[in-house]
Structure 1
Amino acid sequence: MTCGVITDGPLKILKPNTAIAVIEGAPQMVEKRRNEWTGGEKKKENVDNVAKDILYKTLDKNIFSKIKMCPTAKEIWEKLIQICERNKQREENKLPVAIQKFENLKMKAGETLSEFDERFSSLVNELAAPGKEYGNREVALKLMKALPRE
């Protein structure tokens, strides 16, 4: 039931509209007033709060600050989808830049081998994050080509 609240929105407690005469088909439904709710209906209405609580507990502070103003679990979920899609797109945009850096990598004049190794490893890790991985042979060849002849 919690999952439905996240994807479909808060549950509405309905009752048949007795003010309108129905000739054919099912009666028209209207929202029940809170003072008419049964115990089971009160529990159903609280499911959105339970879903919001579950979502809140799984988020870090940075993401929580972006969704805390959303009034329903459904709106929180939709905002999280937007955030994740933007992050994925950002990562995909970084890949061509990282590949170009890797292809043009050379050891700088005055740079120690330790500094170069740290920069090289960082770049290889940056490439692996969005899914571009080079084999050991390719990495070793690039490393050798990036070092100065001396």
Structure 2
Amino acid sequence: MASSGFSPAAPPVFNGEGLHIWVVKVRTYLQAFDLWEVVNTDVEPAPLRANPTVAQIRQHADERTKRHKAMSCIQNCVSNVIFTRIMACETPKKAWDKLKEEFQGIERTRQQQLLNLRRDFENLKMKEEETVKQYSDRIMTVVNSIRLLGE
């Protein structure tokens, strides 16, 4: 009988290069453990009502520990050098935002990168010596770079 459990591979480790690819991988990793919403919204669980049931107490405890689990995932998904930059962050959202701010750059830089990639896309022409597959690969490289920047 096949096991219904899910055991993803080890999380990808960010070493300072390829942030856009790492972000996609770690987002999916966190989603697999139902932790992405904690990182994305940074919302504290609502306090328990008076006279909670055992099930409500368990659910509240699970929701509270999600922040710690998400923070643990983020901390374990970066190299030691990068970890020192986020170790003072108190929430997974703050750590995530710090990484994006520091390694993705400011919005203006991202917009300039997008403009450059769009220009590259518009100027793509098939070379005489290349195959359709090679040309298609060059197109997809630019398109995927644009997608990784959030467009």
Please tell me the TM-score bracket, short chain as reference.
Answer: 0.3 to 0.5
Higher Rg: 1
Q: TM-score, normalised by structure 1?
A: 0.40
TM-score by length of 2: 0.40
Say which structure, 1 or 2, has more relative contact order (CA 8 Å, 6+ apart).
2
